[in-house]
Amino acid sequence: MEIIAAVVLGIIQGLTEFLPISSSAHLILVPWLFGWDPEGLIFDVSLHVGTALAVIVFFWKDWVRLAQEAVKGLLERRPFGNAQRKLGWFIVVGTIPAGVIGLLFEDVVENTLRSPIVPVFTLVVFGLLLYYAEKKSGQNRDLKSYTLLDAICIGLAQAAALIPGVSRSGITMTTALLRNSDRTSAARFSFLLSTPVIVGAGLLNALKLFKSANDPSAEVLSYAVLGAGVAAAAVTGFFCIKYFLRYLARGSFLPFVVYRVMLAAVILVFYFTSR
């Protein structure tokens, strides 16, 4: 049953990590609704590693080009010599806020923000903010026109995604839209920007798992459970990226905003009727 639950949560993670509806909120809410014992932050971050694998595989050509251009830029002493080199450094700069804040406030998130009631507010507030951003945005800028200020603003916004219900992809795409990015470019930058943070968090928690092997009081998880969850998240995430980018070429964020508000309402009903 633990492996089945891990696969279900992995599929949910693969879908919700890239859609602007908050993966962390769903990883809290689904176990709560079904009465499953929550696996905790280590399992959640392990699922994020699965979606990191999905985004690395999906954008592998982009990552190869970014790495090649980064090396060439350093060798030529022209690190910002073209759009690809700039994009690579923008991802580095945008990653820093979430990495620093994640290290500083991980315990706060784990111990105080994993209540089902927290996403009720964040799902609605940041969903409406996404709707506002899409309506206000000129959507006349693509990735080639991104600036260092764009990267800083989007990176700072990504740090807020530690709060359940905010949505990493949602808040970064919202910020990009407020900077007049088009929808597809906002999504592509959001996905690329999320990868270093997700991989870094996964490596840190893998180290925690290794260190806790001989600690009877530490969180203990089966490697089979972790593997099933990661695999499910990776496969689902890959296809979610593929079809979501196709959708954004013409579609609006409005269905996701409506879903966030409806989900918050359902949570609120369940919360008060189950007490």
Write the pLDDT tens digit of every residue in 167-184: 999 999 999 999 999 999
- Cα(60)–Cα(49) distance, rounded to whole angstroms? 16
pTM of the model: 0.87
- Confidence at residue 125, expressed as pLDDT on a 0 to 100 scale: 96
For the ranges 50-64, 151-165, 191-205, 252-266, the lowest mean pLDDT is seen at 191-205
- Other Cβ atoms less than 10 A from the Cβ of 151: the count is 23
Residue 181, SS3? strand
Q: How confident is the model at residue 27 (pLDDT cuts 50, 70, 90)?
A: confident
Angle (deg, nearest 10), helices 148-159 and 168-178:
150
| pLDDT, average across residues 206-234 | 72
Q: Do the beta carbons of residue 12 and residue 30 sit within 8 Å?
A: yes
- For residue 196, CA distances in Å to 52, 96, 150, 187 come to 8, 10, 18, 16
pLDDT digit string (tens) for 40-71? 556 767 787 888 899 999 999 999 999 999 99
Put residue 167 in one of left, alpha, beta given phi > 0 → left and psi -120 to 50 → alpha.
left
- Cα(181)–Cα(187) distance, rounded to whole angstroms? 10
CA dihedral 255, 114, 18, 271 (to 10 degrees): -20
Q: Do the beta carbons of residue 14 and residue 233 sit within 8 Å?
A: yes
Q: How confident is the model at residue 267 (pLDDT cuts 50, 70, 90)?
A: confident
Residue 205 has pLDDT above 70, yes or no: no
